[in-house]
Structure 1
């Protein structure tokens, strides 16, 4: 009796599973064998940390153990084993303008001699405020340490001035770890995200979830009269990247005004869009504006602001409340080091010239990756927002968070990420995000494209 022919392996994002598993196994082994100093250092010293890392998401990198950084400068990292790596992760936007931009490093050295924190403003604070308005628009600013804090405080203000209990967020959204946004859609209904640790409150009492680009869904939620604010990124970024439909942001602005809700734009990731962020580039008009991570050149800093009209309403609401803690604060926020770095970054790093370099480099990267994908006939696509580029291991474009969740291919992404790192290119561990900084060189971009081509050649050979 003749044998039946072996069945073809199941495809994952268009890739044969056996081929994907072989690549992943080889690249994991290659990484581990090439970094003996890193491994030895982790064995000797990592057990003081919970699960061996200072922060849990450091385990989200796909390598068999974390890479230890010896030095980072510009768009380049050197690890403990002496490998030089082109950095396109850039701290997941925290170092979008490059590691230690010279004006920011100078400001840090100068301020370090004058004190690190003292709960009082400085002349740098005054200049930073002026620069923030110049860059982002006429907002009344407050300073926080993380975008999570900034979003939390903005939401609290929105509820205070509108008297309404809920915020509207989009399925698959990212606004840091603010509790209010930790909801999702299931069978058309808002539910608390099931993966939350230690969650006891019913977050559906705080938020309503709608699909991105669903104007009718937004209006239906607003019609309930419960929505204090729409909290949104201009582009969905912490899922596989989703662009707004034409007219979507105009609809958000119109509907929020019609139904008495505030519009909060969170630019923590979309600051890559250009000078002044997506809001300035595309002439959006939010009531409140949030940006974090890279705004101070890598120093932990976020800013949030409100229009003068909303500021007046906030001052009125604040004056009427009972004395006691407002629920907004954090003692180390608005420290002099943040202001020194904000002033330097806004003045000398976040410039039109640097953004032009970033835009040109990101265009080169996205076009190069797209050509590789087309040449190998991979069912993937590329999305770009200014200096931010992402290859997505599924056909596109994507329309909403549900489509983005289905497009996410963790097995493929992990294998490709490790293979890229072994070829000297680091991209973000979360999905397939890459950033081009003012320090990024054409040769680094071309090396990444060539490495991507080499990996896809193996994955899609004879496809």
Structure 2
């Protein structure tokens, strides 16, 4: 349990930093007033207002591991678009590919001459034979769910409490008193999602097998590590056991690697020699442009073709007009071939390991019962002594006031973390100096947070 005096200090710090933010960002404040005339909440997407700042932070340009805001302040970016810019802002190969494609067409609903090369690139990078493109990972998961139900003849979806990072309807659930129910925050939800979705705790193999043994689960959808409820790492052998159980009971296994692509080149599954029935990836694969893909084996391709060929003619409910457009194909090729290289990953992973060590040293120096969870180039600060094993433990460890205070304190000093769960990403352009800056300011925050308190 967190010290009440520490929470009091966090409230005071947060109030002070909110006032400081307004002094530092007069142009962002002006832009917010103007944007509010035409955008809901003054932003193009309402989530852009969920940063805990008094007004949104408007940026003017971004490159590498840095961006500049409307007020001319340079920021070291450890959020990186919540993974969308995980390989850096405006990387040279991607910028060059986009510029070259810009005069050759953007979209035509026809395959680009790059299509064979991009298919080969995806197969080489992730290790699966066949691919289809989507515009977002949410779309890709929605399409995979349709394919899974079509090829298995089953209706149920199995997910874990805490879900995954996307927003397909079927996963927008919570577990309340052991029952799968609609998430209370959903807008406009008109049917019971628990009719076709069931959720169990992460890292609980017995609960998984109990549901799979019923024989009605078409697909199990999960990230290799949960990232939507705070990072929850898999126990040793857990994902491998999911692969075995889904095979045993005729359920398909879908791994969403949109966030866990941080693990290694090719993602967690490839690095750990686990072959899912479907692999979904979005956000970073096109350098930050809207793009996603889902991969599968040749055997699964045969089943999918049979389902499609045996269905009546007409729209399958799978695919959108802009999926696989020419600009996206060019960006994917440049990102996966020339930016997300083995050398880039070696750099990212080494810096992430160093940052983990230094942040944990700061936590220990102040005798705080916190920890840093890490999956490759992705790190997360959590307010518990040991990494959580499931979503319930992750939620119990959260504290909005301290999270917000840390985020705004660092932001006002030129360092951006992801506001929810204080997640950090390392990109190929991140430097030792960037790491040192984050660690220095984090130490300053801890000193101010604990001012007047005895070390616990």
Matched, 1:398 2:388: yes
Report SS of the residue matched to 1:184.
strand
Q: Does 1:268 align with 2:290?
A: no
Q: Which moved more, 1:176-185 or 1:103-112?
A: 176-185
| Cα distance between partner residues in 1 of 2:431 and 2:216 | 49
What's the CA shift for 1:247?
A: 1.5
- Greater shift, 268-277 or 399-408, is seen at 399-408
Segments of structure 1 that go 5 or more residues without pairing to the other structure are 1-10
In 1, the alpha carbon distance for the partners of 2:421 and 2:254 equals: 25
Alignment partner, residue 283 of structure 2: 293
Task: Establish whether residue 80 from structure 1 lines up as the match of residue 70 from structure 2.
Answer: yes
CA distance in 2, matches of 1:409, 1:18: 12
The equivalent of 1:377 in structure 2 is: 367
Per-residue displacement from partner, 1:295-347 (whole Å, max 9, x unpaired)?
11111110001111111111111111111110111101110001101111111
Match in the other structure for 2:203: 213
Q: Distance in 2 between matches of 1:406 and 1:346?
A: 37
Q: Quick one: which of 81, 94, 98 aligns to 1:91?
A: 81
1:387 pairs with one of 374, 377, 382: 377
Of 296, 316, 331, the residue aligned with 2:321 is 331
Q: CA deviation at 1:54?
A: 1.2
Number of positions where the alignment pairs a residue of Structure 1 with one of Structure 2:
453
Distance 1:222 1:21 in 2: 46
Query: Match for residue 34 of structure 2?
Result: 44
SS of the equivalent of 1:299 reads coil
Partner of 1:115: 105
Q: For residues 104-144 of structure 1, what are the alpha-carbon distances to aligned partners after superposition, in whole Å with 9 as ceiling and x for unaligned?
A: 00000000000110111122111010011011012310001
For residues 293 and 24 of structure 2, what CA distance do their matches in structure 1 show? 41
Residue in structure 1 matched with residue 12 of structure 2 by the alignment: 22
Cross-structure match for 1:256: 246
TM-score (norm 1): 0.96
2:434 is equivalent to residue 413 of structure 1: no
* 1:143 pairs with one of 133, 140, 147: 133
1:46: how far off?
2.6
Q: Is the 8 A contact 2:164 2:228 kept in 1?
A: yes
Of 18-27 and 260-269, deviating more is: 18-27
Residues 211-251 of structure 1: per-residue CA shift (max 9 Å, x gap): 00000000000011110011010011122211101111121
Equivalent in 405, 408, 414 of residue 424 of structure 1: 414
Distance 1:103 1:13 in 2: 49
| CA distance, structure 2, for counterparts of residue 53 and residue 134 of structure 1 | 38
How is 1:194-233 mapped onto 2 (pairs within 5 angstroms)? 194-233=184-223
1:12 deviation in Å?
4.2
Partner of 2:293: 303
Q: Which of these residues, 104, 109, 124, is aligned with residue 134 of structure 1?
A: 124
Quick one: distance in 2 between partners of 1:206 and 1:397?
31
Mapped partners of 1:448, 1:172: distance in 2: 29
**Partner SS state of residue 78, structure 1:** strand
Deviations along 1:243-290, whole A, 9 cap, x unmatched? 101111121011101110000000010000011000111111101000
Give the stretch that moved more between structures: 269-278 or 192-201. 192-201
Whether the aligned pair in 2 keeps the contact of 1:256 and 1:263 (CA below 8 Å) is yes
Does the 8 A contact of 1:14 with 1:378 survive in 2? no
Q: Secondary structure at the match of 2:295?
A: strand
1:47 is paired with a residue whose SS is: coil
Instruction: Decide whether the 8 Å contact of 1:13 with 1:412 is kept in 2.
Output: no
Q: How much has 1:70 moved relative to structure 2?
A: 0.8
Match of 2:337, SS state, is helix
Distance in 1 (alpha carbons) for counterparts of 2:75 and 2:362: 22
CA distance in 1, matches of 2:241, 2:155: 22
Deviation of 1:156 (Å): 0.6
Q: Is the 8 A contact 1:166 1:227 kept in 2?
A: yes
Q: Distance in 2 between matches of 1:287 and 1:340?
A: 27
> How far did 1:15 drift?
5.4
1:158 paired residue number? 148
Name the structure 2 match of 1:7: none
Q: CA deviation at 1:14?
A: 6.8
Aligned residue for 1:313? Answer: 303
- 56-65 or 87-96: bigger deviation: 56-65
TM-score, normalised to structure 2, is 0.97
Aligned match of 1:192: 182
Per-residue deviation at 1:411? 1.1
- Give the secondary-structure state (helix, strand or coil) at the position aligned to 2:132: strand
CA RMSD of aligned residues (A): 1.2
Give deviations 1:78-122, integer Å, cap 9, x for gaps. 001110110000000000000011000000000000011011112
Secondary structure at the aligned position of 2:187 is classed as coil
Query: Partner residue of 1:170?
Result: 160
